[in-house]
Structure 1
Amino acid sequence: MSQLTLHLLLLALASCASASHYYGGTMTYVSKGQNPDGSFTVDIRYKETFRTGCSTYNRWSCASGNCGTITSLQSGRVDSSSAGFNWCHSDALMTRHLPSDEPFELRMASCCWITNTAGGVLSWRLLTHIDLGTRSDTLAPNRSPVTTVIPHIRLPSNCHRNINLLAHDPDGDQVRCRYGLVYNVECASCQQHSNFYLDEDACVLHHYGYTSVGARVFEFVVEDFPRQQISVSYSTGSWASKFPLSPATPSPSSTPYSTAAPGGTPLSRIPLQLIVRIDGAVPSCTEGVYLPRLLSPTPYNGEFFDIAVAQELEIHLKAQATHSQLSDFLISGPLNITEQKTFSGSVAESTLKWTPTENDNGVHFPICFIAESKAGASVYHSEMRCIIVRVGPRAGEANVICSETTMTVEVEKSSIIGLHADHLRLNDPSCTLMSNATHVIGSMSLNSCGTQLEEDDENLIFKNEITTFEDPTAVITRRHEVEIGFSCVYPKTGKVSLEFRAHKVPFIFTERGFGKFTYQFEFYHSSQFSQMVDPSTYPVEVPLKEMIYMEIESTSSIPNTVLFVESCRATPIDDPSYHLYYSIIENGCIIDDTVVVYAENGPDYKFGMEAFKFIGNYEEVFISCSVVLCKAGDPSTRCAQGCSNSTAAPAVHHHRRRSVALQTASHYISQGPLRLKRSSKESADTVRSDVSATSLNMNLVFIAGTLLALVAMVCGVVIFKSKQPKVKYQELPNSEF
């Protein structure tokens, strides 16, 4: 008997001993691609929590479709608790070999939930719908939503508390969290408890307080829907259409469960089940008194962390409670995550560490946590927060030489296992790398090869990276993926060559809650925005009064975002704070009469205006804009407010605590320069004007000469007269007559 078969048999036998011990579970999946023989591999991760131990007790059975065979299974403890009710939380990774990428379903059914649950729930039912087909929008296999949860959450009976359920989709799909409705398939009890309300779109469970004490079973289903109609194709030649989620909300049913799932065409169905225990009343519902309050540097709920393969992730948690004793941090995360806790007075801290492996590359991992405290026999929980960890390719080290106009990077071949010099590229794949016996070498100017520009208050930072590439026709790889980032930093106050000022490369920013996002500001030749002005032709020459077309495009790891242009101004130098400027947009309102907006309320902003120049000895015009990126659909963001009167009082925004950040800070981006170009008509008019001016000037010379001669004569007469001796008159005596 093989070791894997023996392991599965032991797990099956152990399931008999797990009666009255179940606290909940979930399952997610990710495709690992197609194999050389045309078959497929999928990694399935599932979490289970029981009262009697931390082994993964239950095996999943095939409910429909061809579920293939299990090729590997590994599991381990993630966390446990002994605060009044013992439980142990485990994570497992199951790898399956499949004959095709067509959908199939896995089911887990057994007995029993923990005793004394409201309604006397006994059995549990979990169903996962797995679809690995190739999507028409991403041209990649479909990925399931990412979720996990602390399996046993405690709420005081007298407080209004929210539980933010993690529901992130790596493909950017719309995610809905709903109650299980298909009796004996998605759920065993299908209960929807009083004094609780599930916001399906936001995936928030609201508890309104004044609920009787006791444990309640929650059986949720997490589904992902495309944001537009797409098709999903399969290796067998079949395909299926998938449609966005309908905004219509079904009317409440008088029965506690339904025999059919709600309408729509979800790509995946993921089970999410847990216990919510209602404890006695707490003297104060204010966080930080009895209920623990999470403090900085604890991550916000929904925050993203990017990490490379083999790089250690470190997350710091901190909590405070003045009238209860902090005793633990409860976590749910991937296999091999570790935790180190310290307690000091009313404050507790924890450090989570985890290092992804090569197999984790490209996978999004959820981590959730809660701070726990005690006061006598009472146990209190903080809010639950969850983060998403996105694992990227293996990182490398590089030696970088920075000059005024170029960057040169040197990578020692022996520093990275599996480095293949003939399969490396820069951001721009047309830029090749050189290599010798010991090093891989790349050299580029500051505005070429896909170099990207970041800036802070003091520096300009030029970034590029070396990555691996494959034959686009290949279906497998046996090379390690490598990502070697490098950069050059230049102080803004120093002397920097103008060579890289001609065209601004994309601006990159990073903020908590939004991760890394990029703005690209470009000029276009027409209102069709189909052909960008070639960066090598900068500065851009434009005829006076002709339309210039501009686009600001945003890219973000957060799906469904909106770009808002707060202001745009023109300056004769590349400095938006320069004293001489011309306002184009202010407070989201168009100021210049010639502006035409072609696209807005999305991830990009397209507009045009008539070309102009500054009066005086100024040759160039730079356009600078202040922009904000917001999550779509929230009326409290700056993006949703649109044009606002600058004299009006600022609006007060009440942001929901569950969101990490509804919008980014304002960022200035710029592009240019524009330089006035005379049209042919203007040039002809200029020639005619010059000829007329020459004739006029000759006449003026003659007239001026004559006038000067006359003036000279007059002046001469005046001078002559003024020099004659004056005659003195005296009265003669009468005697002389």
Structure 2
Amino acid sequence: MLLSVLLLLLMVCGIQSTHYHGTMMTYYPKEIFSNGSVSVILHFKSNSQTCTVDLYSCTGNCGTESTIIINAKIESSASWCQTERITTRLLPNNSPFQLSYAGGTWFSNLNGIDSWRAVTSVELRERSDTMQINSSPQTNTFPVLRVPSNCYININLLAFDPDGDVVRCRYADLSLTECASPCTPPPVLALSSTCTLSFSGTSTSNEGWYAVQMVMEDFPRQSITLTHNNGSYIVKSTSEAISQIPIQFGFLVDPAVPSCTKGYYLPGFLSPTPGHGAQFYTHVDKALEINIRASAAHSVISELLYSGPSSVVKTSFGSGEFSLTWTPSAAYEEESHPICFAIQASYSSSVYQSELRCVVVTVKKKPKPIFLNALRMKISTTLSLKDNRDVIENLVCNQCCNYVV
């Protein structure tokens, strides 16, 4: 009996130890009310093995929270699941606040990361350059990015800011409580401030899983002031971040591939697949379709992986052709959202992933319907149209006015 209990505890611990696969959080301001209160919408993605979701905590000007979408499943694969949670907070004023997401533990990884912690810093004071509240930078990825150990590959993460700010990335800093201890970056990856992860190949002894814990920040292009609705303000220089979001995911170094050339074993994108960073525009309740096509001469394309709003619909047409269709609801109005994707292929027991591509979709308000009233009239005149055009047009206009209610 005791042995059975111990085995059960070990099984539970094993499940917990492989539970966490990363997270992302972003925010958009929504309304400023006459009494000084502010509403902000929060988008929270959670990556886990079994679609489980933990809650984040708030410190500072937290207000009251309401849920718009609860843990909607976005995408899943054999070893991970990504879900989306959207909430709104009504705050008494435009003071900043901070969200943190912490727990344990990460999946087993070679850089020794155990417990997790992710932090979002929400800035709501009015900017002097736009006269609006700041929006966070936007990015996206899915829970696992993978590369063969013998290839040189750059992973360009999307770095988009709705306010036009400069976006920079760095690894999470333990001294700033942006991660839990230990907080060692993957030794096989180099991260640039422009949000590119560079993998230069490694030995077979370094093949396996790594935990990536990053921070993305937005910086003003010139010094600006951030003004509280009580009249107080602070100045932000070009070297001071306005807000901060976390990017955390798994990185897998696979065994070597026979060739690193795109389109051989690693899937390569073909037209009409949009380029990385392409921008699309749609409005509420209008469907947007993104067509994606790829090929691999020596492997078999198996699936399209994507991350975006939970209401995106994935369709497979076979032969490496896919589409992603999104019909945004009013919850996404006046916001820009990244949709990221990659193609996965297999050869024997090996799995290969294409480059990561992301697009940005900006959602406008649903246009108001336009009504056109038609009026059919019969006009008789003895005047010559050639010599009396102005007189006749005035007579017609006057006659039309008689029908206006």
Q: TM-score, normalised by structure 2?
A: 0.85
How many residues in Structure 1 have an aligned counterpart in Structure 2?
Answer: 360
Point out where structure 1 has 5 or more consecutive residues left out of the alignment: 1-15, 246-264, 400-409, 413-435, 440-737
Contact 2:44 2:84 in 1 (8 A): yes
2: CA distance, partners of 1:352 / 1:411: 39
2: CA distance, partners of 1:340 / 1:196: 33
2: CA distance, partners of 1:411 / 1:313: 31
Q: Does 1:29 align with 2:27?
A: yes
After TM superposition, give the deviation of residue 51 of structure 1 in Å: 0.5
Once the two structures are superposed, the pairs formed by residues 535-684 of structure 1 within 5 Å of their partners are none
Contact 1:398 1:411 in 2 (8 A): no
Equivalent in 120, 137, 147 of residue 129 of structure 2: 137
2: CA distance, partners of 1:411 / 1:77: 46
Question: Structure 1 28/287 Cα, relative in aligned 2: closer, same or farther at 3 Å?
Answer: same
2: CA distance, partners of 1:231 / 1:60: 29
What secondary structure does 1:190 align onto? coil
After TM superposition, give the deviation of residue 273 of structure 1 in Å: 0.6
Amino acid at match of 1:166: L
After TM superposition, give the deviation of residue 411 of structure 1 in Å: 7.5
What secondary structure does 1:301 align onto? coil
2: CA distance, partners of 1:396 / 1:354: 21
After TM superposition, give the deviation of residue 356 of structure 1 in Å: 1.3
2: CA distance, partners of 1:321 / 1:361: 38
Which residue matches 1:69? Answer: 64
Equivalent in 268, 280, 284 of residue 305 of structure 1: 280
Q: Does 1:292 align with 2:267?
A: yes
Which residue matches 2:384? Answer: none
Which residue matches 1:38? Answer: 36
1: CA distance, partners of 2:65 / 2:16: 23
Which residue matches 1:227? Answer: 221
Contact 1:20 1:111 in 2 (8 A): no
Amino acid at match of 1:49: N
Which residue matches 2:306? Answer: 331
Amino acid at match of 1:27: M
When the two chains are superposed, the root-mean-square deviation of aligned CA atoms in Å is 2.1
After TM superposition, give the deviation of residue 126 of structure 1 in Å: 0.3
Question: Could you report, residue by residue, the CA deviation over 1:636-692 in whole angstroms, capped at 9, with x for unpaired residues?
Answer: xxxxxxxxxxxxxxxxxxxxxxxxxxxxxxxxxxxxxxxxxxxxxxxxxxxxxxxxx
Question: Structure 1 411/300 Cα, relative in aligned 2: closer, same or farther at 3 Å?
Answer: farther
Which residue matches 1:472? Answer: none
Amino acid at match of 1:108: Y
Question: Could you report, residue by residue, the CA deviation over 1:226-280 in whole angstroms, capped at 9, with x for unpaired residues?
Answer: 00000011123221111103xxxxxxxxxxxxxxxxxxx2110100011110000
1: CA distance, partners of 2:317 / 2:20: 30
Q: Which has the larger radius of gyration?
A: 1
Contact 1:155 1:161 in 2 (8 A): yes
Amino acid at match of 1:302: G
Which residue matches 1:168? Answer: 160
After TM superposition, give the deviation of residue 195 of structure 1 in Å: 3.5
Amino acid at match of 1:99: P
2: CA distance, partners of 1:241 / 1:150: 36
Question: Structure 1 41/18 Cα, relative in aligned 2: closer, same or farther at 3 Å?
Answer: farther
What secondary structure does 2:201 align onto? coil
Which residue matches 1:118? Answer: 110
Question: Could you report, residue by residue, the CA deviation over 1:165-204 in whole angstroms, capped at 9, with x for unpaired residues?
Answer: 111000000010101113472122332333421111x211
Contact 1:370 1:384 in 2 (8 A): yes
Contact 1:125 1:184 in 2 (8 A): no
Q: Does 1:216 align with 2:196?
A: no
Question: Structure 1 396/73 Cα, relative in aligned 2: closer, same or farther at 3 Å?
Answer: closer
User: Taking CA–CA contacts closer than 8 Å with sequence separation of 6 or more, which of the two structures ends up with the larger relative contact order?
Assistant: 2
2: CA distance, partners of 1:30 / 1:148: 15
What secondary structure does 1:395 align onto? coil
Amino acid at match of 1:69: T
Amino acid at match of 1:145: P
Question: Could you report, residue by residue, the CA deviation over 1:467-512 in whole angstroms, capped at 9, with x for unpaired residues?
Answer: xxxxxxxxxxxxxxxxxxxxxxxxxxxxxxxxxxxxxxxxxxxxxx
Which residue matches 1:379? Answer: 351
Q: Does 1:78 align with 2:74?
A: yes
After TM superposition, give the deviation of residue 396 of structure 1 in Å: 5.1
Contact 2:111 2:185 in 1 (8 A): no
After TM superposition, give the deviation of residue 397 of structure 1 in Å: 5.8
Contact 1:152 1:277 in 2 (8 A): yes
After TM superposition, give the deviation of residue 59 of structure 1 in Å: 0.7
What secondary structure does 2:331 align onto? helix
Which residue matches 1:196? Answer: 189
Equivalent in 335, 338, 354 of residue 366 of structure 1: 338
2: CA distance, partners of 1:93 / 1:368: 18
Amino acid at match of 1:363: E
What secondary structure does 1:149 align onto? coil
Contact 1:181 1:187 in 2 (8 A): yes
Which residue matches 1:60? Answer: 56
Q: Does 1:90 align with 2:65?
A: no
Point out where structure 2 has 5 or more consecutive residues left out of the alignment: 1-13, 375-400
After the TM superposition, list the runs of 4 or more consecutive aligned residues in structure 1 that deviate by more than 4 angstroms.
16-19, 396-399
Amino acid at match of 1:313: L
What secondary structure does 2:174 align onto? coil
After TM superposition, give the deviation of residue 67 of structure 1 in Å: 1.2
2: CA distance, partners of 1:161 / 1:268: 29
Question: Could you report, residue by residue, the CA deviation over 1:358-398 in whole angstroms, capped at 9, with x for unpaired residues?
Answer: 23221010100000001111100000000100111213565
Contact 1:179 1:190 in 2 (8 A): no
2: CA distance, partners of 1:127 / 1:179: 12
Contact 1:397 1:411 in 2 (8 A): no
Contact 1:134 1:141 in 2 (8 A): yes
2: CA distance, partners of 1:17 / 1:106: 26
Which residue matches 1:244? Answer: 238
After TM superposition, give the deviation of residue 326 of structure 1 in Å: 0.5
Which residue matches 2:47? Answer: 49
Question: Could you report, residue by residue, the CA deviation over 1:396-442 in whole angstroms, capped at 9, with x for unpaired residues?
Answer: 5658xxxxxxxxxx389xxxxxxxxxxxxxxxxxxxxxxx9x99xxx
Amino acid at match of 2:353: H
2: CA distance, partners of 1:288 / 1:70: 47
Q: Does 1:349 align with 2:342?
A: no
After TM superposition, give the deviation of residue 38 of structure 1 in Å: 3.1
Which residue matches 1:569? Answer: none
Once the two structures are superposed, the pairs formed by residues 500-539 of structure 1 within 5 Å of their partners are none
2: CA distance, partners of 1:51 / 1:142: 34
Question: Structure 1 236/142 Cα, relative in aligned 2: closer, same or farther at 3 Å?
Answer: same
Question: Structure 1 184/22 Cα, relative in aligned 2: closer, same or farther at 3 Å?
Answer: farther
2: CA distance, partners of 1:122 / 1:382: 29
Contact 2:309 2:339 in 1 (8 A): yes
Contact 1:197 1:205 in 2 (8 A): yes
